[in-house]
Structure formats: C-alpha cells, structure tokens
Amino acid sequence: MGDTGTSMNEALLTSSLGDIPLTARGKVRDLYAIGDELLFIATDRISAFDHVLGSGIPDKGKILTQLSDFWFDFLKETVPNHLLAQPSAKILALLAPYHDQIAGRSMLVKQAKMFPVECVVRGYLSGSGWKDYLATGSVCGIALPLGLKESEKLPEPIFTPAAKIVTGGHDENISYAMMVETIGSEYAAELRRLTFTIYEKAAAHAATRGLILADTKFEFGLVDGQIVLADEVLTPDSSRYWPASTYAPGGAQPSFDKQYVRDYLESIHWNKQAPAPGLPGEVIAKTREKYLEAFRLITGKPDLTA
C-alpha cells in the first residue's frame, strides 16, 4: 500500500493469500498456517459491542502491528514473545506475491499453546470496572475503598482475569481462584506476576510520552514449555490510554481507543444486533487519527512503515 502519511488508503477488510491455508479469522486478525509457523495479518476491521462494523479504519492494522512490534522489542528483556526472529528465504518467497496485503501489518510467529485466559490489569477505575464498582463497591470481586471517583487512580493496580470466549462473544470476568482452577496455581501465579511487571514498565514508558495507561490486557502461551507474550500488546484495541495533560478524575477521560466509535454508534441508537452499520467518513477519519496519534506518541516515530 502506498503512502501512510496524511492521505487515507483504502481499508483492507479481508485478506486472501491464495493456497496458503487460513486457520482462523478473528474480529481483526486473519491467521494463516505456514509450515510450523503462523502468519498474523491485522486487517483494518473494527469491532464495537461485539460486532465487526461495516466500515474499516484505513491503516489500523498497520498501527496495531507496528505498535505491538515496538512493545515486543521494548519488553524483550522482561518476557520472551512469540515473534519469529527471521523468516526463511523460502517463506519470504512464498509471501512475495501478497506484499500489498501483508506489508507493515503482518507478524510471523511461532505456534504457541495459548492459555485460555486474558490477563487484565487495571490501574485506574474506568469502563466496566467503574460500573462494577458503582454496583458492588468491588471490581471483579476485589473490594476497593469507598468514595472513589470515575477514572481515579487505584491505590495499587489490580489483576482481574477473564476467560477467553472463542465464539466471538464478550470475554467473561473470572476470579483468580477460577484462573488457578483452569490453568494451575504455578502458571496462574507467574502470569499474574508477569502482568503486573509488564504493566509497571509500560505505564512508566507511557508516562514519559505524556500518556496514562489506565488498563490493559495480555495474552500468554507456551512455546517449548516456556511462557511467551503473544497476540497484540499494549495497542489502543487492548489498552486504555489517556492524555496526562487533561486527566481529571470524576468522569470519563478522552482516550485513544474505540470510544469515539462507540459514542457515534450510541448516538444513532443502533440496537447492537447484526448487521452492524458502516461509519461515516468523518468518524472513520477521526478514529484513524486517534490511532495514529497513539502510535506516534508511544513509539516516538513520525509515521508508519509502509
């Protein structure tokens, strides 16, 4: 795809790699099997309220992939990841005809045995956590002090795992005890430790870039018996970033995630049933700019790699 600067390219909604077998098509990513490896292609699809919308956001897949690449590299001394260091000449030749579909938006990764849990860490009281707190005084069963405001920083980050729902529905919050029951106490303890460690390092970096990392989620797997960080990492699709300069607890904060799209969908009173609507050009352009701004702030790079 051509220029990734100020002009908008056509969104890539669906990839197709000829005879290379497609193994899964998620809300955003298409996965292909290449020998013992997997090729992740981040399309420009965008989902909201558990539905893939009728419009894509041009370059969104490139932004997610290149942000994940940045964080995988940033965290490589903290936790190994599933990226394949250098594709073979054979694989590069196999993929060459599909350059336009994969350039800047794909990752070749080792196949990992994924843990069936998402590791969620919350440093601030927001989103579903805020709703839970209003109703129960707790977040996912973790009791919190009385009188906290929306978006307030928590006394310390909390770990609130979720069960991964592979049928496309909304992931279900589970207790830490349920996580232990699902994957065992040793793995559960190590994933929780890694989650807090990664969050602390990422939040510290974000702070140097004028951002607050309010919450995020990680996915881990096993490669040759070793725990690796996998999937996407610390992107606006998996994390809530706020500009520090305007932070003011007591209400919702402007963010770099999909909230702008959700707000638009609420404004048109969509019933949140299929088929999902498309988005007007103004919403597409504004959403793309929010994702790009997050990329530039976090990485310090002026623009995407074509």
- Residue 217 domain-assigned? yes
> Do the domain assignments include residue 227?
yes
In a domain, 9, yes or no: no
Burial class (CB in 10 A: 0-12, 13-18, 19+), 246: exposed
Residue at 223 is within a domain? yes
- Assigned domain for 180 exists: yes
Q: Which residues of 142-167 are buried (b: 16+ CB within 10 A; e: fewer)?
A: bebeeebebbbebeebbbbbbeeeee
Task: Give the three-class secondary structure for 257.
Answer: coil
Whether residues 158 and 226 fall in one domain? yes
Number of domains forming the structure of the chain: 2
Instruction: Give the Cα separation of 260 and 282 in Å (integer).
Output: 11
What does the pLDDT read at residue 299? 97
**Secondary structure of 197-250 in the HEC alphabet?**
HHHHHHHHHHHHCCEEEEEEEEEEEEECCEEEEECCCCCCCCEEEEEHHHCCCC
Q: Is residue 61 part of a domain?
A: yes
Give me the pLDDT at residue 7, please. 43
Structural domain for 216, as ranges: 115-201+212-246
Q: How confident is the model at residue 1 (pLDDT cuts 50, 70, 90)?
A: very low
Band of residue 2 on the pLDDT scale cut at 50, 70, 90: very low
Query: pLDDT tens digits, residue range 238-248?
Result: 999 999 999 99
What are 180-217's pLDDT values in tens digits? 999 999 999 999 999 999 999 999 999 999 999 999 99
pLDDT digits (tens, 9 = 90+) for 110-148: 999 999 999 999 999 999 999 999 999 999 999 999 999
pTM of the complete model = 0.92
Q: CATH number for the domain including 177?
A: 3.30.470.20
Would residue 16 count as lying in a domain?
A: no
CATH of the domain at 33: 3.30.200.20
Nearest partner of 203 among 295, 122, 303, 133, judged by Cα: 122
Asked if pLDDT for residue 149 goes beyond 70, the answer is yes
